[in-house]
Amino acid sequence: MKAYILIKVRTGEIKQVVKQLRKLPGIVSAEMTFGPYDAIAVVENGDVGKVGSLIASEIQPIPGVEQTLTCLAVDI
């Protein structure tokens, strides 16, 4: 399963947040973006519960992270 995590970050903290995201297990990539969200992280894991745990216990507590939106990718 692949998920795209769109992240709003407090002003001035984007570089630190992206560095922290890149250190987390399960994160395939993390990049700064322009638009309504400041960063995007790509997560790959076979279990939706583990994706949820990663977001709740590892991503959201990162200092500077204000909000996340998770988009699950599905194969058709």
Q: Where are the domains of the chain?
A: 2-73
Can you give the three-state secondary structure of the chain, one letter per residue? CEEEEEEEECCCCHHHHHHHHHHCCCEEEEEECCCCCCEEEEEECCCHHHHHHHHHHHHCCCCCEEEEEEEEECCC
Residue at 52: amino acid letter: G
- Mean pLDDT per segment of 10 residues, for the chain of length 76 residues? 95 97 95 97 88 94 97 88
CATH of domain 2-73: 3.30.70.920
Cα(60)–Cα(50) distance, rounded to whole angstroms?
14
Cα(39)–Cα(37) distance, rounded to whole angstroms?
6
User: What pTM value is reported for the model?
Assistant: 0.92
Query: Which pLDDT value is given to residue 47?
Result: 83
